[in-house]
Amino acid sequence: VKASLFCPGSDLPGNKGYERKEAYKILTAHGERLATEDSFLRISISATAADSILQADGNKKELKHVHCLQLTSRATDRQDDHDTGSDAPIIETIAINEPNMSHKTAILAIIDKVKAFRPGLVDTVTAVGHRVVHGGDKFSESIVVTDHVLREIQSVSHLAPLHNPSNLEGIRIARDLFSEKVPNVAVFDTAFHASMPRFAYTYPLPKEYSEHGIRKYGFHGTSVKYVSQVTTHILKEMNKDASRMIIAHLGNGASVTAVVDGKGVDTSMEFTPLSGLMMGTRSGTIDPSIVTYASQQMGKTPAQVISDLNKLSGLYGITGGDNDMRIITERASNGDGDALLAIEMFVYTLSKYIAGFLVSCGGSIDALVFTAGIGEHSPLIRKLTIKKLSKLLGDMIVDKERNDNNGKFSGGIISASNSSCLAMVVPTDEEVMICKECEEFILHH
């Protein structure tokens, strides 16, 4: 469950020609593996200004986002990266480990922490933002949740059965906990990809299929939107072009997205989160005939085969039970054949998608960006991938020291200084993007 709460605070002084909007007290929370023995909840609290400013332009004032403010614990390691002279926000991070924690328990824990942080703060909440994985073809942007919106999200939940039901549960709980005057804003992972051209999202199937909503949607959009904005800011600060990039979101779920002028033009994860790259427990794209063939030959129902493709395949299937790239890398270093094969397959499939999306970007790109768990923390996967793509990416070469440090001391850049196309590591932060979407809604509505 991912939910973001933020409340109005005190005014901050203007700075160097910029007039700050009022400060915000912001809370972000990230719960993982809820309702299992390994339930985990991370809560981060900030009482600093949001990262938007009002910039005077004659008599007109236009909202501009000048940088992306990290609101997780890693923010304490970095400075505010636009020139206002302020330090990075002070963050309090709380971790809660409780076996079989339900979504309601997690959200109530968040509320309790808000109450403990400052008495009366909950009563001043102005919005609750929710991540929703699949919006189908019904939602192309964030929207305030109504009973009708809930029904519409429910109607497409079969397209993301591992995600949407939990997203809906979180929304219903928050609506019960907060006043009707507090809007709940649904932020869709699929929304960023709504800009894909028709020829990219349409499947070569009879028209009746599209009438049932069968098309490419794309996922990880909240993450990709955030990373693309941060990457654009970094490149412009370096006086480099930032119009074309490929973003590889590599975690237990993984996808590659081609971004041109800030808009998604193609992506690897298509109709459901099962398609595309080889993933932690998901197969990625395979010949669809395998489903019926396996059903006939192995005595399984189609639903059982699909379940195997979602939960027992990918890295997990090839290694015989491991889907953590850190463990697989360690096994491979000790000569484990299954682990070596899994890494080779993962890198090969990833490289193929990146190479194909060069076409979507017009033949060349300004940056190849790695993000999410594997993307941010696996120098080996990045090195092997870039090596396969080097000739296609202007003789891109990995700088070993930069790559080994995950770009931490080189502004996120991990390629050698003479590389015409940059390779980068940009940490994602979906919670911040949800905050930004809520902020946009409040400012405009």
At 40-65, the pLDDT tens digits run 887 766 544 444 333 333 333 332 33
Q: Average pLDDT in the 184-204 region? A: 92
Q: Where is average pLDDT lowest: 25-34, 162-171, 384-393?
A: 25-34
Per-residue pLDDT band for 135 (boundaries 50, 70, 90) equals confident
Percent with pLDDT over 90 in the chain: 43
pLDDT at 5: 53
pLDDT at 54: 30
CB 328 within 8 A of CB 339: yes
User: ∠ CA 68-69-73 to the nearest 5 degrees?
Assistant: 135
Give the number of C-alpha atoms closer than 13 A to the C-alpha of residue 404, restricted to the C-beta side.
Answer: 3
Residue type, 428: T
pLDDT at 319: 96
Report DSSP letters for 54-109, one per residue.
EEEETTEEEEEE-S----SGGGGGS---SSSSPPPPPEEEEEEE-TT--HHHHHHH
CA distance 183 to 169: 16
Please choose, from the candidates 196, 201, 192, 256, the residue with its C-alpha nearest in 3D space to the C-alpha of residue 225.
192
At 305-339, the pLDDT tens digits run 999 999 999 999 999 999 999 999 999 999 999 99
pTM of the model: 0.79
At 208-233, the pLDDT tens digits run 998 888 999 999 998 999 999 999 98
- What six digits make up the tokens of 291? 């489903």
- What six digits make up the tokens of 240? 């480099």
Give 104: exposed, middle or buried? Use CB within 10 Å, 0-12, 13-18, 19+.
middle
Residues marked as catalytic: 189
- What six digits make up the tokens of 103? 């979504």
At 165-185, the pLDDT tens digits run 888 888 888 888 887 888 888
pLDDT at 363: 92
Report DSSP letters for 362-388, one per residue.
TS--SEEEEEHHHHHH-HHHHHHHHHH
CA distance 381 to 339: 13
pLDDT at 26: 60
